Amino acid sequence: MIRVGIAGAGFIGRVHAQSVDMMDNAVLSGIFDKNLEAAKSLAQLYNSNFFETFEELLDNSDVVILAIPTPYRKDFLELSIKKGKHVFCEKPLARTIEEAYRIKQIVKASKVKFMVDHVVRFFPEYRKIHDMILEGKVGDVSEVRSFRGGPFPGWSNWFKSFQKSGGVLLDLAIHDIDFWSWTLGEVQSIKAYALDFSESIERDHGVVIMKFRSGAIAHIEATWAYPKGSAFRTMAEVVGSNGRAKFDSESFNPLTIYSKNSRESLSPHSLTPWGVALKEFLKAVENDTEVPVSVDDGVKAVELSLKAIDSAKTGETKVVKL
């Protein structure tokens, strides 16, 4: 059994704990969070341990999942790799390009397996769109459009700080930036808009237009602008010479459960996309094979998202060098 520890007991840490719980070949070795109570309560949920220091978590794990806020990733990663632990890291890989490059350097110099959790690649609806494009079903791709978001992520305070989270472009639009560049190849230029680069973001909406070297264009919207209580929604659409393929999370409802004071919409699969991503990573750890999302992919997504921020701040279109 692979011992998997989780650093960070917030929203996404909980999601990862659920994934670990579903793995046949892994066991949750424990939780670390600087908020001890949060670590304790998540650990209890899965009958696992909680640790007061990250080092203790490392000592008890073969793999660590970094589900901590963006600015801390580099230091946690360095510690993990020093101890020879494999790392499954939340997106974005880093807050700055310097940190991203440094992470790449550390990872490449080590023998550990490292994967960035660009989980959108593992959502079956996105995977199907990706496959349809690669199999030529939609023909020569002309334009793609996507939308992602809902209310401001109210579960944690650090998203409010542009300095920490990078705002809606680095934290949310990066999903689509990564997905489309994975699917369509090299980006040539980026133009973007966003509303708030302050330390007290309460609402924001990001728009990104990317031009690809293939000639395709992309229109991405990522939002934290919807009123509290709105559903999180995703849409993607691709227009090619053979036709158009699209989905909208609102237009299909495989399962809706209405109970006292709540309405829950589910799209059940045997394994959640986070579970699939983790399973693929653990497979690479077990068999010493390549991970599906590399550190280079993580760096590229950060690079493009930071370019988008740069464009949004300056109003200029940014060229992406090869």
Partner 1 sequence: MKVAMVSSAHVHASSYASILKSNSKFEFIGIWDDNIERGKSFAKNFEIPFYENLNEMLQKSEAVVITSENAKHLDHFRLVAGKVKGVLCEKPLATSIKDASEMLKIAEASSTKLGVAFPVRFHPVSQRVKEIFNEGEFGKALIITSSNRGKLPPGWFTDPKLSGGGAITDHVVHLVDLFRWFTENEFISVETFLGNNIHKDLKVEDCAILSLKLGDTPMTLDCSWAMPKSHPYWGEVKFRIIFEKGVVEADVFSQNIVFESNRSKEVEFINYGQNADENMLVAFAEWIEGIREDFPTAIDGLQATKVVEKAYESIEKGGVVVING
135 C-beta neighbours (distance < 10 Å), count? 8
Site membership for partner 1, residue 84 (CB under 8 A): no
Site membership for partner 1, residue 125 (CB under 8 A): yes
Q: How far is the CB of 1 from partner 1 (least distance, A)?
A: 21
State the DSSP code for 171. I
Q: How far is the CB of 22 from partner 1 (least distance, A)?
A: 13
Q: How far is the CB of 36 from partner 1 (least distance, A)?
A: 32
Site membership for partner 1, residue 129 (CB under 8 A): yes
The 3-state DSSP class for residue 189 equals: strand
Burial class (CB in 10 A: 0-12, 13-18, 19+), 235: middle
Site membership for partner 1, residue 154 (CB under 8 A): no
The size of the interface with partner 1 (CB under 8 A), counted in residues, is 30
Q: How far is the CB of 307 from partner 1 (least distance, A)?
A: 30
Q: Which is nearer to partner 1, 93 or 239 (CB)?
A: 239
Q: Which is nearer to partner 1, 127 or 191 (CB)?
A: 127
Site membership for partner 1, residue 134 (CB under 8 A): no
Nearest alpha-carbon partner for 46 in 30, 23, 64: 30
Provide the strand spans (E) within 161-320. 187-193, 205-212, 217-223, 233-240, 243-248, 255-259, 262-266, 318-319
Report yes or no: 43 and 37 within 8 Å, Cβ to Cβ.
Answer: no
Q: How far is the CB of 254 from partner 1 (least distance, A)?
A: 5
Residues 270-289 that bind partner 1 (CB under 8 A): 270
Site membership for partner 1, residue 136 (CB under 8 A): no
Residues 228-257 that bind partner 1 (CB under 8 A): 241-247, 252-257
- CA-to-CA distance for 33 and 49, rounded, in angstroms? 12
The 3-state DSSP class for residue 311 equals: helix
Nearest alpha-carbon partner for 162 in 128, 120, 194: 194
Q: How far is the CB of 133 from partner 1 (least distance, A)?
A: 11
Site membership for partner 1, residue 268 (CB under 8 A): yes
Q: Of these, 2, 38, 132, 195, which contacts partner 1 (CB under 8 A)?
A: 132
Task: Provide the token pair at 255.
Answer: 């399962």
Q: Which residues of the shown chain bind partner 1 in the complex (CB under 8 A)? A: 124-125, 127-129, 132, 137-139, 241-247, 252-260, 266-270
